[in-house]
Structure 1
């Protein structure tokens, strides 16, 4: 019963955090407010929540990563795939080696495999925290897409490196060939499982809907279960459950382009997923704050056992590790950007050198979050021989401190770096929206005319009424195409019939609009992000008319 009460209190703190951030006279990132409220709960409650790392991992990460993969713009993901992969895989390995050796050198009591494990788990970034920090600053859209894509894949690469490092710490051995083969299996099998679960669930649901009808609640529940199913199946096959959840989300965005889901389902599902995302992301930071007092206490005990008796050593370790992470990221970002510019110029492409503030912002935006906290808590308690796992509490403290310091540094630095930064406009999105609206309007007018004729054939006596209603409905679409007609007047006694006819015509037009937008997205003439935005507008209109 006490656990349920603590969860309810945390949910209340989550609700309060949003209001408190708005009430403050200065800008404070929402994650920092949630961490502070979590620490307050720990101080007032007197005891800490006992986290089961595997349960925490399963409950929080699959749905969050699935949703990130589902909603990330695929054009940006595939367009910048080279830079994203360089950051997601190359930077992770660079960070593990550089930070791992530094941590072992600073803290001799922490064995090298444990230092590598700590470096691996603090390498993945969290775009949700960056979004919260940059909510009041115009962050470049392309930069945000790169950070989102990086976080999707560096979660998997960081956790795989973490798993290898922990295995080396437990067994005392490491094989590069075995690790490479394991990595290939973990990555490829995890991605395949994610794609397979999404497509399998979608095909089964489509077959059931065709035979027995579709219920909105069931479809929403299936979408909630897919990431957990992909994660558990991949873990059962000793593949990457994290990558399976990501791949399932990316596949879900392509499944959506079929346009077979009901408008009601899409609208309600978006609300459910938005609420779940807000709750899970917030609870991660509230839990971090709630665990902080115990983490600091255990870290100080571990510090004294290693021969360091001053608590200032903890602060020195934290500052040194965060500085090393920032410099490693800056060096990698600067090098890869210039390498990509060099390659583009060799191909004869005209490219502009990015502003130095943008390069530093990309480096500073490497904020750590949920994956780091969840991963470090899975460190084993003991070695196979029964001895305590070396420096476990100290590693957990350092990982938690990296999350805090990276959040604070980004919340202070990003607004100054991005404010007033002149970023070239991205005209492609505007052109895509205009193209989609024009093409959809043309299809909608054709559908209205067809529906008008069908209704008139069924009720010849009301043909004039249908003509007037069709004229009114088509006028808004004709304005998109540069034309326009004014609808005729209708007698008061015919208003009810006219309204019903107009609704039927509008629904037919909206259906045609939606199908045309899906077609344009399938043909890659517009991005899936643009399609999702326009389809949501149409779904909301359809809900209103129904």
Structure 2
């Protein structure tokens, strides 16, 4: 019963944090408030929840990674794939090696494999935290897409490196040749399983729905179960469940373009996933605050083994590690930019050198967040021989401290760094959206006209009623294609055509949606714009359903 009370208190803390972040007089990142509330819960209940690392990993990471893959803008991901891959894979390996050796040198009491594990789990960045900070800073949209794409892929690469480092710490040995072969199966097997899980489950659900029908909540529940199914299947086959969850999410975004889900299902599903994302992210930070007192005591004990009896050495370690991570990221971004400019020069292309503030912003925007926290909390409690996992509490404390410092640094630094910076316009996106709206309106007008002919009866009165309803429905679509106005018609007669109007409006909305999905499947508009427009159509349709 005590555990249930603690969980309920944590959920209330997540809800309360959403209000407190708007009430406090100074601007604080939401995770900081959630950590503080978690510490309050620890003080009220006296002792915290005992976490099983494997269960914690399973409950929190698959749905978050799945949602990241589902909602990441694919056009930006493929357009800037070279830059994103350099950041998501090259920078991760660079960070693991550079920061791993430095952490071991800085803290001799932390074994080298554990230092590599800590460096690996610190390498993923968190775009959700950056997005919340970006509301107060004019981060260019293309830079945000790069940061989101980097985060999606470096979550996977960082967590895979983390698993290898933990395995080395558990067994005491590491073979690069064996790890390379294993990595190929872990990576490609996980990706294949994730894609197959989403496609297979979606096809099975579609067939069952056609044969037997389904409850309205079934598609939403299925979407919640897919990431767990992909993750567990991959882990059972010794592949990466992390990559399987990411691949399942990316595949889900393409399955969604089929447009087979009902409008109400999409609206309700989006609300459920938004709530789940907010809850899981919040609970992780509340959990950190709730466990922080015990973690701090263990970290102090580990530091004392190095001969540093003053607990302030913990703050020194955290600041040095954060500084090293920032310098490694800046160095990688700078070298990557120089290399891109050199290749463009060799090809005879001309590239505009970005403002140095954008370069610094890219480095400062490497905020650590929920994935780092979820991963580090899964460090094993014991070694195979039954002894405690070395420096576990210290690693968790340092990861938490780096998360806090990076959040504070970005929330203070990014708005000041980018203030007054002239950002390039994004005309292509606006043109894309306008093009999609015009195409959808044209398709809707054709569908309404076709539906009018199908609904009209033989009598002249009925034909006139449906014609008036069609004129009223098509008026909105005509405004998108031209600036002309549709002549008014008798209001009393139109009120008699309500039922006909609803049928015609639904036909038009369905045609709009199909046109947008078709444009997205052909790559003529981005999935981000298609998702935005389809959501608007779904919300309008829900009024008539």
TM-score normalised by L of structure 1: 0.97
- Could you tell me how far 1:151 is from its partner in structure 2? 1.3
Counterpart-to-counterpart distance in 1, 2:310 and 2:390: 20
Do structure 1's residue 407 and structure 2's residue 390 form an aligned pair?
A: no
- The equivalent residue for 2:139 is 139
- Could you tell me how far 1:26 is from its partner in structure 2? 2.2
Describe the SS at the equivalent of 1:136: coil
1:19-62 CA deviation, whole Å, 9 max, x = no partner?
A: 11111222111111111111121122211121111111111111
- The equivalent residue for 1:448 is 448
- Could you tell me how far 1:527 is from its partner in structure 2? 0.6
- The equivalent residue for 2:500 is 501
Deviates more, 1:454-463 or 1:30-39: 454-463
- The equivalent residue for 1:308 is 308
- Could you tell me how far 1:266 is from its partner in structure 2? 0.6
- The equivalent residue for 2:43 is 43
Does the CA contact (< 8 Å) of 2:56 and 2:378 recur in 1? no
- Could you tell me how far 1:496 is from its partner in structure 2? 4.3
- The equivalent residue for 1:64 is 64
1:144-192 CA deviation, whole Å, 9 max, x = no partner?
A: 2111111111122112212222222233322111111111111101111
Deviates more, 1:483-492 or 1:501-510: 483-492
- Could you tell me how far 1:381 is from its partner in structure 2? 2.9
> 1:469–1:117: structure 2 CA closer, same or farther, 3 Å change rule?
same
- The equivalent residue for 2:515 is 516
- The equivalent residue for 1:525 is 524
Mapping for residues 68-217 of structure 1, pairs under 5 Å: 68-217=68-217
Deviates more, 1:48-57 or 1:531-540: 48-57
Counterpart-to-counterpart distance in 2, 1:174 and 1:224: 36
Describe the SS at the equivalent of 2:157: helix
Counterpart-to-counterpart distance in 2, 1:294 and 1:350: 56
Counterpart-to-counterpart distance in 2, 1:407 and 1:248: 29
Deviates more, 1:505-514 or 1:23-32: 23-32
Mapping for residues 364-375 of structure 1, pairs under 5 Å: 364-375=364-375
Counterpart-to-counterpart distance in 1, 2:386 and 2:266: 52
Mapping for residues 277-292 of structure 1, pairs under 5 Å: 277-292=277-292
- The equivalent residue for 2:391 is 391
Mapping for residues 465-504 of structure 1, pairs under 5 Å: 465-490=465-490, 492=492, 494-504=493-503
- Could you tell me how far 1:384 is from its partner in structure 2? 3.2
> 1:385–1:280: structure 2 CA closer, same or farther, 3 Å change rule?
closer
> 1:491–1:32: structure 2 CA closer, same or farther, 3 Å change rule?
closer
- Could you tell me how far 1:329 is from its partner in structure 2? 0.6
1:363-403 CA deviation, whole Å, 9 max, x = no partner?
A: 11111122222222222333333433322222222112111
- Could you tell me how far 1:479 is from its partner in structure 2? 1.5
- The equivalent residue for 2:271 is 271
> 1:427–1:491: structure 2 CA closer, same or farther, 3 Å change rule?
closer
1:490-512 CA deviation, whole Å, 9 max, x = no partner?
A: 363x4443111111111111111
Describe the SS at the equivalent of 1:363: helix
Deviates more, 1:287-296 or 1:253-262: 287-296
Does the CA contact (< 8 Å) of 1:31 and 1:132 recur in 2? no
Does the CA contact (< 8 Å) of 2:89 and 2:157 recur in 1? yes
- Could you tell me how far 1:489 is from its partner in structure 2? 2.5
Counterpart-to-counterpart distance in 2, 1:23 and 1:329: 34
- Could you tell me how far 1:132 is from its partner in structure 2? 2.1
> 1:290–1:486: structure 2 CA closer, same or farther, 3 Å change rule?
same
Does the CA contact (< 8 Å) of 1:472 and 1:487 recur in 2? no
TM-score normalised by L of structure 2: 0.97
- The equivalent residue for 2:347 is 347
- The equivalent residue for 2:228 is 228
- Could you tell me how far 1:487 is from its partner in structure 2? 4.2
Describe the SS at the equivalent of 1:216: coil
1:59-89 CA deviation, whole Å, 9 max, x = no partner?
A: 1111111111101110011111111111111
Does the CA contact (< 8 Å) of 1:267 and 1:536 recur in 2? yes
Counterpart-to-counterpart distance in 2, 1:117 and 1:447: 58
1:212-266 CA deviation, whole Å, 9 max, x = no partner?
A: 2243200100000000000111111111111111100000000010111111111
Unaligned runs of 5+ in 1: none
